[in-house]
Chains A and B, each alone.
Chain A
Amino acid sequence: MSVKTLKIDGIDIAIEEGATVLDAARQAGVPIPTLCHLDGVGDIGACRLCLVEVGGSRRLLPACVTEVAEGMEVQTNTPKLQEYRRMTVELLFSEGNHVCAVCVANGHCELQDVAIQVGMDHSRFTYRFPDRGVDVSHEQFGIDHNRCILCTRCVRVCDEIEGAHVWDVAQRGAACYIVSGLNQPWGEVDACTSCGKCVDACPTGAIFRKGSTTGEKERDRAKLDFLVTAREKHEWTR
């Protein structure tokens, strides 16, 4: 396997061909904020938080889906990137109804963490306050679309790890939402195995276990990684 050498924020790194800039940055210990990335499932570059500047390219590139190349020079934390990231998070907040004080994920929310990480203390954009609805038809779980940021982690985890593909994205543009089955109530979807992986995958409090209240949603993120390693490499690592 060939090895590529590149520089991330001035740090020299050697990593195997085919790895992403995000992999390389993690190896170098350079933190890049992410939301739609989830270890163990495929990347789609949806959230745009991991945007980086690559020397020679005028565009900003999402680190999670950009492959490393020989001699690449990557900047991950320029003032421009900081500004863009903060704006992205502000847009996410103004798009949905993210009210931390009454959310099951308060204190364990990746959107909240990212907001703190990028230093977002208010949104300069007007809140849309959409009326999106809640589906609690499943006997164990519920989905509150108001808290959804459309990262599609649930879609990918259900498709790639569980294999049931209960979820997908319906509609387009601002009308997009996560749909279960043929736009059925979640509880009526035959394909659902009630495995709960989507609950663990959800970065916010959008998908939750019934009966949990404010700040009670804690997830077992390592479980997904464990399952993938077990399935693909036949190594049971915990």
Chain B
Amino acid sequence: MQSPTTTKQSKAASAKEHPSGDRRFKTLDMTMKRYQYKPDALIEVLHKAQESFGYLEEDVLTYIARGLKLPLSKVYGTATFYHLFSLKPNGAHTCVVCLGTACYVKGSNKVAEELEKELGIKMGETTADGQISLMAARCIGACGIAPAVVFDGTVAGKQEPEMALTKVKEWEAE
């Protein structure tokens, strides 16, 4: 059994710095502290981690589990349940194809298919070189310009498969 004093000391040490020296862990510590290391703050802490790391790597999930004193499987289960959290890094460029009803009717599935074929990946995946992530969305609220595709956060309307391919090929040429 650890005496209460040693627990305190080790806690203080962990709050100081993550062994990797990565300062982003300090932000995580601050967030967890703000929620008094309460287990119910898991989702809020995961949000913060996703925001500062861009994705949730194993190391980060373990760190959060230790901090909130939660079982690893529970943290993993929560992180994989919500689509907003991603466990893999996103590509340098992101391409989101809207597959909402209006865009779909206007042929966004064709756009999606062509992009999948060109990049050799499926929706929700990232190319092996980490350059391009392909994603699908269910209505981005741009039905008036259907079919819509979002290239790096910029919405492009009335997309023919060829137009989307040209844009993606530009990225590939970089």
Question: Could you list which residues of chain A lie within 8 angstroms of chain B, going by C-beta atoms?
Answer: 159, 164-172, 179-184, 189, 191
Interface residues of B, Cβ cutoff 8 Å to A:
58, 61-62, 65, 71-77, 80-81
> Roughly how many angstroms separate A170 CA and B77 CA in the complex, as a whole number?
4
Q: Cβ of B58 and Cβ of A182 under 8 Å apart?
A: yes
Q: Which residue of A159, A182, A191 is within 8 Å of B76 (Cβ)?
A: A182
Contacts between chains A and B (CB distance < 8 A), count: 44
Which residue, of A159, A166, A180, A183, has the highest number of chain B Cβ atoms within 10 A?
A183
Contact A180 B81 (CB under 8 A): no
Could you tell me the distance between the alpha carbons of A165 and B78 in the complex, rounded to whole angstroms?
14
Say yes or no: A165 contacts B77, CB within 8 Å: no
Contact A179 B71 (CB under 8 A): no
Please name all residues of chain B whose beta carbon is closer than 8 Å to the beta carbon of A189 when the two chains form the complex. Answer: 72
Contacts A171-B80, A172-B81 known; 15 new A-B pairs at CB < 8 A: A165-B71, A165-B73, A167-B73, A170-B73, A170-B76, A170-B77, A171-B81, A172-B80, A179-B76, A179-B80, A180-B73, A181-B72, A182-B75, A182-B76, A183-B76
CB closest residue in chain A, given B79? A170
B74 (CB) vs chain A CBs: closest residue: A168
What residues on B are CB-neighbors of A184 within 8 Å?
A: 72
> A179 and B77 in contact (CB under 8 A), knowing A165-B71, A191-B71?
yes
Q: List 6 A-B contacts (CB under 8 A).
A: A165-B73, A165-B74, A166-B73, A169-B77, A170-B77, A189-B72
Q: Give the distance in Å from the alpha carbon of A184 to the alpha carbon of B75 in the complex.
A: 13
How distant is the Cα of A180 from the Cα of B81 in the complex, in angstroms? 15
Q: How far is the CA of A165 from the CA of B72 in the complex (A)?
A: 8
Chain A contacts for B71, CB-based, 8 A: 159, 164-166, 168, 191
